[in-house]
Amino acid sequence: MNSRERVLAMLDARAIDCLPAMPITMMFAADQIGARYYDYATNCRVQAEGQLRVAEKFGVDHVSVISDPGCEAADLGAVIKFFPDQPPAIDEENALLKDKTLLARLKPPDPLGGGRMTNRVQAVRMLRERASKDKLVEGWIEGPCGESADLRGINRLMLDFYDDPEFVRELMDFVVQMELCFAQAQIEAGVDIMGIGDPASSLVSPRFYNEFVFANQKKMIDGIHALGARVRLHICGDTRHIAEGLGRVGADIVDQDALAPLDHARRKMGLQPVLLGNIDPVRVLREGTPETITTAIAECHRQAGPRYIVGAGCEVVRDTPEANMHALVRYAREHKPSETRVASGR
């Protein structure tokens, strides 16, 4: 069973030979090929090479085009700060929709119009051509709350939930429309599963999540399913207060950051979504040993149950020892979904 078959079988609740491993690698991947992160984030060829190197060297089950949250915002005209060897960043003080009346004149960019979105689509094509016979190809878009925060500025958006809820609804409607167009372009280029990054949604209250975010995440997920791809939902931070909604939103995989215990997620979400994670990328994966990482992942597996994919809570830190990455994937290769053991600690 190859990697692509293994992940798809897990999502379909079919028998598999061992657990899949799908850690997020970005700066780690760039460093594997000696590339500056600016080049990794802006040059599809560099990104594809980095992902292929990680897949070959460590045996992970996917390749991905995740790079930074500024891709869509850049093509809309937002001010993005670029750095030689760090991820691009949104200039929130000069957010594109600092003046929210500009939303009425904003038009979704063409994903194939030659900007950063096009670069990501081209990276998908390269990975599809070179890796899809064995590896799952993962696309990436921003979620409704995360992209709204990128365009408006996160502090302004949090106040808008109280002060101008109609604007929030209009903004998220725009985001969902734009992101589904971007998703379609990536799916047509060869994506198997679409990653959705929606970190800001962990910062909203259950009330605002249910009132504004849930329905828009669901529209996005349902739309991607209709286009023929699976969905991986990644939300940084503590999601315990919205876990029940995340179980109903329809994602095939729900990532759990280190702040959100897997046993709590499984109780609240039920058995349907596959859970992924959630060891601490710094204190456990980077600073641990192969032995402590094995123990921590075994405990994650125990808490999540058989519908589980091995990974860290968030991005693999760039200076993570290679032996530790090998230990992460080794646990997946040596265990089937039903094989768990109680670990001595995390």
pLDDT digits (tens, 9 = 90+) for 272-287: 999 999 999 999 999 9
CATH architecture observed for domain 3-334: Alpha-Beta Barrel (3.20)
How far is Cα 256 from Cα 259, in angstroms, rounded to an integer?
A: 8
How far is Cα 104 from Cα 306, in angstroms, rounded to an integer?
A: 47
The model carries a pTM of: 0.96
pLDDT digits (tens, 9 = 90+) for 135-174: 999 999 999 999 999 999 999 999 999 999 999 999 999 9
Q: How crowded is residue 107: how many other Cβ atoms within 10 Å of its Cβ? A: 8
**DSSP-derived 3-state class of residue 64:** strand
CA 57 distance to own-chain centroid: 21
Measuring CA to CA, which residue among 49, 48, 27, 54 is closest to residue 38? 27
- As a dihedral over the C-alpha atoms of residue 274, residue 186, residue 121, residue 150, rounded to 10 degrees, the angle is -70
Q: What residue ranges do the domains of the chain occupy? A: 3-334
**Mean pLDDT by 10-residue block, N- to C-terminus, for the chain (346 residues)?**
96 96 98 98 98 98 97 97 97 96 97 98 98 95 98 98 98 98 98 98 97 98 98 97 98 97 97 95 98 97 97 97 98 89 37
Strand partners, 254: 233, 275
Angle of CA points 90, 279, 221, to nearest 5°? 55
